[in-house]
Amino acid sequence: MAALLARYAECIFWLARYMERAENLARILDVNETFARDSYGATNWVTIVRLNADEKRFFELYPTASAKNVLNFYILDQQNPTSIIAAVSSARENARQLRPLISTEMWAQINVFYNKLLAWGPNDIAPQNIQRQCAFIKEACQTHTGITEGTFFRDQGWYFYNLGRNLERADQTTRVLDIKYHTLLPSPRDVGTPVDISQWNSLLRSAAGYHAFRRVYPRGLTPAAVAGFLLFNDNFPRSVMVCMREVDSLLNRLNSKYRLRRGTLPLERSDELLGSLASQTIEAVIAGGLHEYLDRLQLSFSSLTSDIAQAFFHADQPATMTA
Protein backbone atom coordinates (compact mmCIF):
# COMPACT_ATOMS: atom_id res chain seq x y z
CA MET A 1 0.00 0.00 0.00
CA ALA A 2 1.31 3.40 -0.92
CA ALA A 3 2.94 5.20 1.94
CA LEU A 4 1.83 8.71 2.83
CA LEU A 5 4.46 11.34 3.44
CA ALA A 6 4.12 12.52 7.04
CA ARG A 7 4.18 16.16 5.96
CA TYR A 8 1.31 15.56 3.54
CA ALA A 9 -0.72 13.96 6.33
CA GLU A 10 -0.17 17.03 8.47
CA CYS A 11 -1.05 19.42 5.64
CA ILE A 12 -4.25 17.61 4.72
CA PHE A 13 -5.31 17.48 8.37
CA TRP A 14 -4.86 21.24 8.63
CA LEU A 15 -6.34 22.02 5.24
CA ALA A 16 -9.57 20.41 6.44
CA ARG A 17 -9.42 22.22 9.77
CA TYR A 18 -8.94 25.66 8.24
CA MET A 19 -11.76 25.26 5.75
CA GLU A 20 -14.06 24.01 8.50
CA ARG A 21 -13.01 26.93 10.68
CA ALA A 22 -13.79 29.46 7.93
CA GLU A 23 -17.23 27.96 7.41
CA ASN A 24 -18.07 28.01 11.11
CA LEU A 25 -16.98 31.59 11.52
CA ALA A 26 -19.10 32.65 8.54
CA ARG A 27 -22.06 30.91 10.16
CA ILE A 28 -21.56 32.70 13.45
CA LEU A 29 -21.18 36.15 11.87
CA ASP A 30 -24.15 35.64 9.59
CA VAL A 31 -26.45 34.55 12.38
CA ASN A 32 -25.26 37.23 14.73
CA GLU A 33 -26.10 39.93 12.22
CA THR A 34 -29.53 38.52 11.52
CA PHE A 35 -30.87 37.06 14.71
CA ALA A 36 -28.80 37.97 17.69
CA ARG A 37 -30.45 41.28 18.52
CA ASP A 38 -31.27 42.33 22.01
CA SER A 39 -34.55 43.81 23.16
CA TYR A 40 -33.61 47.22 21.78
CA GLY A 41 -32.88 45.77 18.34
CA ALA A 42 -29.14 46.31 18.66
CA THR A 43 -26.74 43.53 17.87
CA ASN A 44 -24.32 42.61 20.54
CA TRP A 45 -21.02 42.01 18.78
CA VAL A 46 -18.77 41.88 21.77
CA THR A 47 -19.79 38.28 22.52
CA ILE A 48 -18.35 37.28 19.17
CA VAL A 49 -14.99 38.67 20.15
CA ARG A 50 -15.01 36.25 23.09
CA LEU A 51 -15.18 33.34 20.65
CA ASN A 52 -11.48 32.60 20.60
CA ALA A 53 -10.66 34.76 23.62
CA ASP A 54 -9.76 37.42 21.08
CA GLU A 55 -10.74 40.44 23.23
CA LYS A 56 -7.21 41.56 23.97
CA ARG A 57 -6.02 41.47 20.38
CA PHE A 58 -9.25 42.98 19.10
CA PHE A 59 -9.21 46.00 21.40
CA GLU A 60 -5.57 46.64 20.61
CA LEU A 61 -6.60 47.17 17.00
CA TYR A 62 -10.11 48.61 17.26
CA PRO A 63 -11.61 51.12 19.72
CA THR A 64 -15.11 49.63 19.84
CA ALA A 65 -16.84 46.35 19.12
CA SER A 66 -19.05 47.87 16.42
CA ALA A 67 -20.51 45.68 13.70
CA LYS A 68 -18.13 47.23 11.18
CA ASN A 69 -15.04 46.62 13.30
CA VAL A 70 -15.91 43.10 14.33
CA LEU A 71 -16.81 42.09 10.79
CA ASN A 72 -13.58 43.53 9.46
CA PHE A 73 -11.58 41.84 12.23
CA TYR A 74 -13.11 38.43 11.53
CA ILE A 75 -13.46 38.53 7.76
CA LEU A 76 -10.83 40.65 6.08
CA ASP A 77 -8.17 41.43 8.66
CA GLN A 78 -5.09 39.52 7.61
CA GLN A 79 -3.32 40.58 10.79
CA ASN A 80 -5.86 38.59 12.75
CA PRO A 81 -4.91 34.90 12.72
CA THR A 82 -8.49 33.95 13.62
CA SER A 83 -10.05 35.78 10.64
CA ILE A 84 -11.74 34.03 7.76
CA ILE A 85 -9.20 35.30 5.27
CA ALA A 86 -6.37 34.05 7.50
CA ALA A 87 -8.02 30.62 7.67
CA VAL A 88 -8.57 30.46 3.93
CA SER A 89 -5.05 31.69 3.30
CA SER A 90 -3.65 28.96 5.57
CA ALA A 91 -5.87 26.41 3.87
CA ARG A 92 -4.49 27.56 0.54
CA GLU A 93 -0.89 27.37 1.72
CA ASN A 94 -1.48 23.81 2.86
CA ALA A 95 -3.26 23.04 -0.40
CA ARG A 96 -0.31 24.47 -2.31
CA GLN A 97 2.01 22.01 -0.60
CA LEU A 98 -0.52 19.25 -1.21
CA ARG A 99 -0.97 19.85 -4.89
CA PRO A 100 0.83 16.66 -5.83
CA LEU A 101 -1.72 14.79 -3.70
CA ILE A 102 -5.07 16.54 -4.00
CA SER A 103 -7.16 16.87 -7.14
CA THR A 104 -6.64 19.84 -9.44
CA GLU A 105 -10.28 20.79 -8.85
CA MET A 106 -9.71 20.98 -5.10
CA TRP A 107 -6.75 23.26 -5.57
CA ALA A 108 -8.35 25.48 -8.21
CA GLN A 109 -11.48 26.06 -6.11
CA ILE A 110 -9.52 27.07 -3.00
CA ASN A 111 -7.25 29.26 -5.11
CA VAL A 112 -10.17 31.07 -6.74
CA PHE A 113 -11.98 31.39 -3.39
CA TYR A 114 -8.95 32.95 -1.76
CA ASN A 115 -8.37 35.36 -4.63
CA LYS A 116 -12.01 36.50 -4.43
CA LEU A 117 -11.67 37.21 -0.70
CA LEU A 118 -8.45 39.09 -1.36
CA ALA A 119 -10.30 41.39 -3.73
CA TRP A 120 -12.98 42.31 -1.15
CA GLY A 121 -13.04 45.80 0.29
CA PRO A 122 -14.89 47.46 3.21
CA ASN A 123 -18.11 47.79 1.21
CA ASP A 124 -18.31 44.05 0.67
CA ILE A 125 -18.59 43.47 4.39
CA ALA A 126 -20.90 46.38 5.19
CA PRO A 127 -23.81 45.15 7.35
CA GLN A 128 -26.31 45.35 4.47
CA ASN A 129 -24.12 43.00 2.39
CA ILE A 130 -22.99 40.69 5.12
CA GLN A 131 -25.61 38.02 4.70
CA ARG A 132 -24.89 37.59 1.02
CA GLN A 133 -21.16 37.49 1.64
CA CYS A 134 -21.41 35.02 4.51
CA ALA A 135 -23.59 32.85 2.31
CA PHE A 136 -20.86 33.04 -0.34
CA ILE A 137 -18.21 31.95 2.16
CA LYS A 138 -20.32 29.11 3.51
CA GLU A 139 -21.07 27.91 0.03
CA ALA A 140 -17.45 28.13 -1.03
CA CYS A 141 -16.49 25.99 1.99
CA GLN A 142 -19.28 23.55 1.24
CA THR A 143 -18.24 23.44 -2.40
CA HIS A 144 -14.78 22.53 -1.16
CA THR A 145 -16.25 19.76 0.96
CA GLY A 146 -18.26 18.49 -1.99
CA ILE A 147 -15.36 18.57 -4.43
CA THR A 148 -13.22 16.77 -1.87
CA GLU A 149 -15.86 14.13 -1.33
CA GLY A 150 -16.20 13.62 -5.05
CA THR A 151 -12.58 13.77 -6.18
CA PHE A 152 -10.14 13.06 -3.36
CA PHE A 153 -8.57 9.65 -3.51
CA ARG A 154 -9.68 7.47 -0.60
CA ASP A 155 -6.41 6.37 0.84
CA GLN A 156 -4.72 7.41 4.08
CA GLY A 157 -4.93 11.07 3.09
CA TRP A 158 -8.71 10.90 3.13
CA TYR A 159 -8.61 9.65 6.74
CA PHE A 160 -6.38 12.49 7.86
CA TYR A 161 -8.57 14.97 6.04
CA ASN A 162 -11.65 13.77 7.90
CA LEU A 163 -9.80 13.61 11.19
CA GLY A 164 -9.03 17.31 10.84
CA ARG A 165 -12.51 18.23 9.75
CA ASN A 166 -14.27 16.47 12.59
CA LEU A 167 -11.87 17.61 15.28
CA GLU A 168 -12.24 21.22 14.14
CA ARG A 169 -15.99 20.95 13.94
CA ALA A 170 -16.22 19.56 17.47
CA ASP A 171 -13.97 22.34 18.69
CA GLN A 172 -16.03 25.03 16.93
CA THR A 173 -19.24 23.71 18.41
CA THR A 174 -17.83 24.06 21.91
CA ARG A 175 -16.78 27.62 21.09
CA VAL A 176 -20.19 28.63 19.79
CA LEU A 177 -21.74 27.21 22.95
CA ASP A 178 -19.21 28.97 25.10
CA ILE A 179 -20.38 32.37 23.82
CA LYS A 180 -23.56 31.83 25.82
CA TYR A 181 -22.28 29.93 28.82
CA HIS A 182 -22.96 32.82 31.17
CA THR A 183 -26.71 32.35 30.75
CA LEU A 184 -26.33 28.87 32.15
CA LEU A 185 -24.60 29.88 35.34
CA PRO A 186 -26.11 28.00 38.29
CA SER A 187 -28.27 30.97 39.41
CA PRO A 188 -29.73 32.37 36.23
CA ARG A 189 -31.79 35.57 36.24
CA ASP A 190 -33.32 36.16 32.85
CA VAL A 191 -33.04 32.64 31.54
CA GLY A 192 -36.20 31.88 29.60
CA THR A 193 -37.12 35.45 28.78
CA PRO A 194 -38.04 36.17 25.12
CA VAL A 195 -34.67 37.78 24.39
CA ASP A 196 -32.82 34.86 25.83
CA ILE A 197 -34.85 32.37 23.82
CA SER A 198 -34.09 34.22 20.59
CA GLN A 199 -30.39 34.09 21.45
CA TRP A 200 -30.50 30.33 21.90
CA ASN A 201 -32.39 30.08 18.66
CA SER A 202 -29.66 31.99 16.94
CA LEU A 203 -27.07 29.73 18.48
CA LEU A 204 -28.81 26.72 16.98
CA ARG A 205 -29.09 28.45 13.65
CA SER A 206 -25.39 29.23 13.56
CA ALA A 207 -24.76 25.51 13.85
CA ALA A 208 -27.45 24.80 11.24
CA GLY A 209 -29.23 22.94 14.02
CA TYR A 210 -32.48 24.83 14.48
CA HIS A 211 -34.71 22.52 12.47
CA ALA A 212 -33.01 19.38 13.65
CA PHE A 213 -33.45 20.53 17.23
CA ARG A 214 -37.14 21.22 16.63
CA ARG A 215 -37.59 17.68 15.39
CA VAL A 216 -36.04 16.28 18.54
CA TYR A 217 -37.66 18.74 20.93
CA PRO A 218 -40.89 19.86 19.24
CA ARG A 219 -42.39 21.23 22.41
CA GLY A 220 -40.12 23.91 23.48
CA LEU A 221 -36.66 25.16 23.89
CA THR A 222 -34.68 25.29 27.07
CA PRO A 223 -31.10 26.43 27.21
CA ALA A 224 -30.09 23.12 28.77
CA ALA A 225 -31.76 21.17 25.98
CA VAL A 226 -29.94 23.22 23.35
CA ALA A 227 -26.58 22.75 25.07
CA GLY A 228 -27.23 19.04 25.47
CA PHE A 229 -28.24 18.76 21.84
CA LEU A 230 -25.08 20.46 20.57
CA LEU A 231 -22.86 18.38 22.83
CA PHE A 232 -24.38 14.93 23.03
CA ASN A 233 -26.93 14.34 20.29
CA ASP A 234 -26.19 11.12 18.43
CA ASN A 235 -27.36 12.23 14.99
CA PHE A 236 -26.70 15.93 14.63
CA PRO A 237 -23.69 16.29 12.30
CA ARG A 238 -22.13 19.15 14.24
CA SER A 239 -22.58 17.73 17.75
CA VAL A 240 -19.40 16.99 19.65
CA MET A 241 -20.58 13.41 20.07
CA VAL A 242 -21.03 12.71 16.36
CA CYS A 243 -17.72 14.37 15.49
CA MET A 244 -15.77 12.48 18.14
CA ARG A 245 -17.37 9.19 17.18
CA GLU A 246 -16.14 9.82 13.63
CA VAL A 247 -12.65 10.75 14.89
CA ASP A 248 -12.48 7.57 16.92
CA SER A 249 -13.52 5.42 14.03
CA LEU A 250 -11.02 7.09 11.68
CA LEU A 251 -8.19 6.49 14.14
CA ASN A 252 -9.30 2.91 14.50
CA ARG A 253 -9.20 2.36 10.76
CA LEU A 254 -5.78 4.01 10.43
CA ASN A 255 -4.52 1.52 12.98
CA SER A 256 -6.13 -1.55 11.49
CA LYS A 257 -6.37 -0.95 7.74
CA TYR A 258 -3.04 0.86 7.33
CA ARG A 259 -1.30 -0.78 10.29
CA LEU A 260 -0.07 2.55 11.56
CA ARG A 261 0.89 1.16 14.92
CA ARG A 262 2.17 4.47 16.11
CA GLY A 263 -1.46 5.50 16.26
CA THR A 264 -2.13 3.60 19.47
CA LEU A 265 -1.79 6.56 21.79
CA PRO A 266 -4.17 8.91 19.96
CA LEU A 267 -6.63 6.07 19.66
CA GLU A 268 -6.51 5.41 23.40
CA ARG A 269 -7.02 9.09 24.09
CA SER A 270 -9.95 9.30 21.71
CA ASP A 271 -11.53 6.14 23.19
CA GLU A 272 -11.36 7.75 26.61
CA LEU A 273 -12.85 10.99 25.37
CA LEU A 274 -15.69 9.20 23.64
CA GLY A 275 -16.38 7.15 26.76
CA SER A 276 -16.59 10.23 28.91
CA LEU A 277 -18.93 11.97 26.43
CA ALA A 278 -21.22 8.96 26.39
CA SER A 279 -21.50 8.82 30.16
CA GLN A 280 -22.19 12.54 30.62
CA THR A 281 -25.57 14.22 31.08
CA ILE A 282 -26.20 17.88 30.36
CA GLU A 283 -27.62 18.37 33.85
CA ALA A 284 -24.39 17.18 35.42
CA VAL A 285 -22.39 19.36 33.06
CA ILE A 286 -24.38 22.47 33.96
CA ALA A 287 -24.20 21.71 37.64
CA GLY A 288 -20.42 21.45 37.38
CA GLY A 289 -20.18 24.59 35.22
CA LEU A 290 -20.68 24.53 31.43
CA HIS A 291 -17.83 26.91 30.73
CA GLU A 292 -15.37 24.78 32.68
CA TYR A 293 -16.60 21.67 30.90
CA LEU A 294 -16.18 23.30 27.46
CA ASP A 295 -12.72 24.42 28.46
CA ARG A 296 -11.79 20.86 29.38
CA LEU A 297 -13.17 19.58 26.07
CA GLN A 298 -11.14 22.14 24.13
CA LEU A 299 -8.03 21.11 26.04
CA SER A 300 -8.62 17.46 25.27
CA PHE A 301 -9.08 18.24 21.56
CA SER A 302 -5.81 20.05 21.68
CA SER A 303 -3.98 17.15 23.37
CA LEU A 304 -5.52 14.75 20.91
CA THR A 305 -4.18 16.96 18.11
CA SER A 306 -0.68 16.80 19.60
CA ASP A 307 -0.94 13.05 20.01
CA ILE A 308 -1.93 12.71 16.37
CA ALA A 309 0.94 14.96 15.34
CA GLN A 310 3.38 13.00 17.48
CA ALA A 311 2.19 9.66 16.16
CA PHE A 312 1.85 10.40 12.46
CA PHE A 313 3.38 13.72 11.48
CA HIS A 314 6.76 13.44 13.16
CA ALA A 315 7.87 10.04 12.01
CA ASP A 316 11.54 10.86 12.48
CA GLN A 317 11.21 10.92 16.22
CA PRO A 318 11.60 7.57 17.96
CA ALA A 319 8.58 5.38 17.32
CA THR A 320 9.29 3.02 20.19
CA MET A 321 7.95 5.52 22.71
CA THR A 322 4.42 5.22 21.44
CA ALA A 323 4.36 1.82 19.75
Partner 1 sequence: MARRAWGALLSGSGNGVDHLLSTYNANGFYDELFGNAAKPASHTLSVQERLRQLDFDDLRRRASDAERELYNLGITFLVYSDAKAVDRILPFDVIPRIISAKEWAHLEAGVQQRIAALNLFLHDVYHDQKILKDGIIPAELVLGNANYREQMRGIDLPFNTYIHIMGVDLVRDHDGTFRVLEDNGRVPSGVSYVVENRHMMQRAFPDLMGDIGLRSVDNYGMKLLEAMCEIAPPRPDGVDGDPQVVLLSPGAYNSAYFEHIFLAREMGVPLVEGRDLIVENDKVYMKTTGGLRRVDSIYRRIGDDFLDPLAFNPDSMLGVPGIFEAYRKGNVALANAIGTGVADDKAVYAYVPRMIKYYLGEEAIIPNVETHICREPDALKFTLDNLDKLVVKPVGEAGGYGITIGPRASKAELEECRAKLLEDPANYISQPMVPLSVCPTLTEDGIEPRHVDLRPFAITARNTWVLPGGLTRVALKKGTLIVNSSQGGGSKDTWVLTEGPAEEPALESAVADPFQSQSQSQ
User: Contact positions toward partner 1, by CB under 8 A?
Assistant: 3-9, 93, 96-97, 99-100, 104, 107-108, 111-112, 115, 156, 160, 254, 258-260, 262, 312-316, 319
Calpha distance 260→257 (Å, rounded) = 8
Alpha carbon distance, N-terminus to C-terminus of the chain: 20
Residue 140 CB, nearest distance to partner 1 (Å)? 14
Rounded alpha-carbon distances, angstroms, from residue 229 to 131, 206, 274: 26, 14, 16
Calpha distance 95→110 (Å, rounded) = 8
Residue 133 CB, nearest distance to partner 1 (Å)? 20
- Cβ proximity to partner 1: between 4 and 241 the closer is 4
Among candidates 323, 179, 305, 209, which has minimal Cα distance to 263? 323
- Cβ proximity to partner 1: between 54 and 248 the closer is 248
Residue 259 CB, nearest distance to partner 1 (Å)? 7
Q: How many CA atoms lie within 13 A of 175 on its CB side?
A: 23
Distance of CA 189 to the CA centre of its chain: 30
Residue 286 CB, nearest distance to partner 1 (Å)? 40
Residue 319 CB, nearest distance to partner 1 (Å)? 6
Identify residue 208 by its one-letter amino acid code.
A
- Cβ proximity to partner 1: between 6 and 191 the closer is 6
- Cβ proximity to partner 1: between 24 and 156 the closer is 156
- Cβ proximity to partner 1: between 5 and 274 the closer is 5
Could you tell me which residues come within 8 angstroms of residue 38 by beta carbon, excluding any fewer than 6 positions away? 44, 195
